[in-house]
Structure 1
């Protein structure tokens, strides 16, 4: 399946001149290094699992983080989901559905830690039951994990660049709006 560009923007947390494309698609874009992996977990009530990072400027967001050297992207997504929420989902249950493609426009500065062409992969998993209460394991950067109604997600994550990706996901059949 070819990727569809949902939105193009720039973000303040990427310093060099750049373009970020929000992509909807089930394949990783060729020529881009996957640096991070995230999971949008939905339960049978169409609630979404969010995490809260208790660091300045962070707050509520999607579970995810960096891909470790030598680690597969989907394995990183499953690992980050467990580390940040306590929810254990086998990697083979995760489905790639899009991401954030970042292209530096003037080359990579020497002090910039990421590649000129980076991709932040977003996976989804849909549980066939209501999401059980979760809690980040001790020692993680996350202070809380919580299942929230999808309508509440933009209120908790108002500046999240990934919101158009969430809007592109179909509601679960049998839920309000589904």
Structure 2
């Protein structure tokens, strides 16, 4: 699939002036460093797997997080899914949906920890039947995981920049 921009935004958690393009794409974008990977796990009962992050200012989110050094994005997505929800998935079962392409609009500040051109990869995992109950790993930052009806996802995650990606995956 050729990359398709389905939205452009900015987010408050990236301090420098920037642009975030929401992409549907079957390939990682050239020229952008993948920093994080997420999984939109969708079950046959029309639900999405969310995690509740137990840290100030955070709440319900899709499972995902930073890549470890040298770790491929799809492997990071599967690892984060297991850590944050308890759902184990072979990385080969994850399909790249697209992601959030972040481009800083100037020189990054000296204390900025990310590349000026970063990509947050989003993968899908589709289950044929209903997803089984899950529980985050005890060492996880997540307090709980839950299969949520797709229509409820925007209610639990109202400010999530990835909501258009979820809508595209849910079609």
Preserved CA contact (<8 Å) 2:40 2:49: yes
- Map 1:41-120 onto structure 2 (within 5 A): 41-120=41-120
Q: What SS is found at the alignment partner of 2:84?
A: helix
CA RMSD of aligned residues (A): 0.7
4+ residue segments displaced more than 3 Å: none
> TM-score scaled to structure 1, two decimals?
0.94
- 1:97, 1:20 → 2: CA distance? 16
- 2:50, 2:167 → 1: CA distance? 15
Distance 1:149 1:80, change over 3 A: same
Shift in Å at residue 170 of structure 1? 4.0
- 1:156, 1:63 → 2: CA distance? 14
Q: What SS is found at the alignment partner of 1:100?
A: strand
Shift in Å at residue 137 of structure 1? 1.2
> TM-score scaled to structure 2, two decimals?
0.98
- 2:46, 2:26 → 1: CA distance? 21
Shift in Å at residue 108 of structure 1? 1.6
Q: What SS is found at the alignment partner of 2:155?
A: helix
- 2:170, 2:133 → 1: CA distance? 24
